[in-house]
Chains A and B, each alone.
Chain A
Amino acid sequence: IAGITQAPTSQILAAGRRMTLRCTQDMRHNAMYWYRQDLGLGLRLIHYSNTAGTTGKGEVPDGYSVSRANTDDFPLTLASAVPSQTSVYFCASSDSKTGTSGADTQYFGPGTRLTVL
């Protein structure tokens, strides 16, 4: 079944540890995104990639890094986790090119629930 997968589903992490959240899509979408969702706040964009080989910073990029070596994978790394990074992380993708018009709907993975202690 086509879609987006994320791993792990949930994780408890000690502060200061390094962690990579994985995201893979099989829809051959150009663009991919990482969001965090916190209670009472809207989804906030961490990093994005308009196409393989390029990445950009979103609204809340500090403490996170991404890479986009190929079309399908877009891992998110926390170099040294802190408690404020406790959140639900969603990966999304869309069939987008920079500056495109149209709906360009974003499709979301199931999320990773991360707790940093």
Chain B
Amino acid sequence: GQNIDQPTEMTATEGAIVQINCTYQTSGFNGLFWYQQHAGEAPTFLSYNVLDGLEEKGRFSSFLSRSKGYSYLLLKELQMKDSASYLCAVRDSNYQLIWGAGTKLIIKP
């Protein structure tokens, strides 16, 4: 079967750095996505990786290792508004997105 694993919840301090991990086992691989979802709102796109390595976009970076079935999202200089759930999704061989359950990130002052 297809599976995406992420930690259920993480806590970090304002101004710090946090890394959210995602491991996957899917039938085929055509890219990995990270989305942010604030409570009661829709998911919004953060990043996309299809090749191995690090993609940096401001305070957010995303890393992919296809051989290990592994990705992480790195958030720097954490702000209170970063409190949200972070969803990892993999596009499979049918070009459909398989979603993880999400990691709820709690930022403390």
Contact = CB atoms under 8 A, between A and B. Distances in A.
Contact of B31 (A42, A103, A108, A110): A103
B42 A109 contact: yes
Nearest to A100: B95
Interface stretch (B62-70, B72-80, B99-107): B99-107
B12 interface: no
A41 interface: yes
Could you tell me the dominant secondary structure of chain A's interface residues? loop
Contacts of B41: 110-111
Interface in A86-105: 90, 96, 98-101, 103-105
26 contacts: A35-B99, A41-B101, A42-B4, A42-B87, A42-B99, A42-B100, A42-B101, A42-B102, A43-B87, A43-B89, A43-B97, A44-B99, A45-B96, A48-B96, A58-B96, A90-B42, A90-B43, A98-B95, A99-B95, A103-B31, A103-B48, A105-B45, A105-B48, A108-B42, A108-B43, A110-B41
